[in-house]
Amino acid sequence: MNRRALLAGSLAATLARPGRAEPRPWRVGFLHPGEQAYVDSRVAAFRTGFAPPPGSPEIVTRTASNDLARLPALVAELAAEQVQALCAVSPPAVGAVRTASLAMPVVALDLESDPVANGWVESLGQPGRSLTGLFLDLPEFTAKCLQLLVEAAGGAPKVGVLWHGAAGTLQVRAAREAAARLNLPLEVAGIQAAAEIEPAFAALHAAGAGGLLMLSSPLFGGRVRQMAELSARYRLPAINQLPEFAEAGGLLGYGPEAQGMFRQLGALTRRILEAGPGRPLPPVERPVRFKLVLNARTAAALGLTIPPMLLASVDEVIE
């Protein structure tokens, strides 16, 4: 009798949890407007942040190769892939996902827009049930970058701004306000596609810009090497909001580490999925650590003398 009860109990327990024996891996959609080759390393970082290797999720990646018009179709594809959560990188991608109004939670990585102002979340602390993510909605940070560039460039008479239109106007406005405060003439080169990058450099060079502020955009983030080479070719001391830029040969990179942000995004996505559907999403997060990287070789090549004040703030110098 006892043995039979035990057996029945264990059998019932086995039947009651059919899925537990072989847990289905999480299925996450990953939407990026950039190019596949660049996205792969980001996905890897995301995966690392999501979970240590055994619990690795299935990640369905869709990249627009900078053709933003494709984004809605890609969103539809991802929705059809039955993903449990969707990660969208950059404001256009987040916008496309929002437009599609999907049932699954959306985890955004957006360094360019204010989610509250855009109406994507109710508040940073209580984002609601549809969208959360990693946002860097600090317009003043652009101004800070501009200040750093000016200091590094040794009082440039004119600063050029490279702006990817798709990233929104928040930063460019901040840059303009900061420049106005500093009485600094500003030459803004807005572009829409990758092909326009080099002509923009030429134009800024021709306009007599003594420094270049690159507003953040996945378009630029995926092409740090090209940007660094162009900066060197046109002898423009440049600052980018990715520390990688300086490592790739640019003069200054200030901002959160890209790989770190994607890891943070992965961890956040994991928390959302573990909490289960229908639960309030965790608060909007911000990049925690900012890193100022200076490429001393580039500075030397540009003939710049970096003031000690700036050196004091630099976290890492590339010799």
Partner 1 sequence: MSGAAATPLRATASGPSEPASRLRRVPLSVKLAVALVGLVTLVLLVNGVVNLWLNYDEAKRTAVRLQQEKAHAAAERVDAFIAEIENQIGWTTRAEWRRVPPEQQRYDFIRLLRQAPAITEASYLDAAGREQLKVSRLEPDVIGSGRDFSGDPRFVRAVADKVWLGPVTFRRGSEPYMTVAVAHAGKHPGVTVAEVNLKLIWDVVSAIHVGDKGYAFVVSDTGRLIAHPDLTLVLRDTDLSRTPQVRHVLASPGGPETEPEITLDLDGRRVLTAHARIERVGWIVFVQSPVAEAMAPVYTALYQALTLLGLGLLLATVAGTLLARRMVVPIRRLQEGAERLGGGDLTQRISIRTGDEIETLADRFNQMAGRIQDSYETLEAKVGERTHDLNEALRQQTATAEVLKVISRSAFDLEAVLSTLTRSAAELCGVERVVIVLRDGDGYRLGAATGLAPESERFVRAHPDLAGRDAVVPRVVRSGAVEQIPDPAGPPEAQHGAGAVLGVPLLRNGAVEGVFVLTRPEPGAFPARQVELVQTFADQAVIAVENARLFGEVQARTGELTASLTDLRAAQSRLVQSEKLASLGQLTAGIAHEIKNPLNFVNNFSALSAELLDELREALDAGALDGRAREEVEELIGLLQGNLAKVVQHGKRADSIVKNMLLHSREGSGERREADLNALVEESLALAYHGARAERPGFNVTLVRDLDPSAGTLALYPQEITRVLLNLITNGFYALRKREAEGGEPGFAPTLIAATRNLGDKVEIRIRDNGTGIPDEVKAKMFNPFFTTKPAGEGTGLGLSLSHDIVVKQHGGTLDVATAPGAFTEFTIVLPRGGAAAPGRAP
Single out the residue of 288, 303, 305, 319 in contact with partner 1 (rule: CB under 8 A): 288
Nearer to partner 1, 195 or 312 (CB): 312
> Considering the rule CB under 8 A, would residue 17 count as an interface residue with partner 1?
no
Cβ 144 to partner 1, closest distance in Å?
5
Cβ 78 to partner 1, closest distance in Å?
25
> Considering the rule CB under 8 A, would residue 138 count as an interface residue with partner 1?
yes
Sequence length of the chain is 319
> Considering the rule CB under 8 A, would residue 257 count as an interface residue with partner 1?
no
Cβ 134 to partner 1, closest distance in Å?
12
Cβ 147 to partner 1, closest distance in Å?
4
> Considering the rule CB under 8 A, would residue 284 count as an interface residue with partner 1?
yes
- Using CB under 8 A as the binding criterion, the count of chain residues that bind partner 1 stands at 28
Single out the residue of 141, 163, 234, 262 in contact with partner 1 (rule: CB under 8 A): 141
Q: Report CA torsion sign: 294, 313, 49, 282.
A: negative
- Give phi and psi for 134, each to the nearest 5: -115, 115
Contact between residue 306 and residue 318 where contact means Cβ atoms under 8 Å apart: no
* Contact stretch for partner 1 (CB under 8 A) within 4-12, 45-53, 85-93, 118-126: 118-126
Distance CA 292, CA 316 (A): 6
Distance CA 162, CA 221 (A): 12
> Considering the rule CB under 8 A, would residue 283 count as an interface residue with partner 1?
yes
> Considering the rule CB under 8 A, would residue 252 count as an interface residue with partner 1?
no
Cβ 22 to partner 1, closest distance in Å?
27
* Contact stretch for partner 1 (CB under 8 A) within 18-26, 42-50, 67-75, 141-149: 141-149
* Contact stretch for partner 1 (CB under 8 A) within 14-22, 52-60, 67-75, 120-128: 120-128
Burial 66-99 (b: 16+ CB within 10 A, else e): bebebbeebbeebbeeebbbbbbbbbbbbbbbbe
Nearer to partner 1, 154 or 283 (CB): 283
- Give phi and psi for 101, each to the nearest 5: 40, 75
Cβ 273 to partner 1, closest distance in Å?
14
List the one residue out of 196, 224, 211, 230 whose CA is nearest residue 318: 224
Q: Report CA torsion sign: 65, 71, 74, 79.
A: positive
Cβ 138 to partner 1, closest distance in Å?
5
Cβ 141 to partner 1, closest distance in Å?
5
Partners of 62 in the beta sheet? Answer: 31
Single out the residue of 27, 70, 158, 271 in contact with partner 1 (rule: CB under 8 A): 271
Contact between residue 245 and residue 216 where contact means Cβ atoms under 8 Å apart: no
Q: Which residues bind partner 1 (CB under 8 A)?
A: 116, 123-126, 138, 140-141, 143-144, 146-147, 178, 181, 271, 282-286, 288-290, 308-309, 312-313, 315
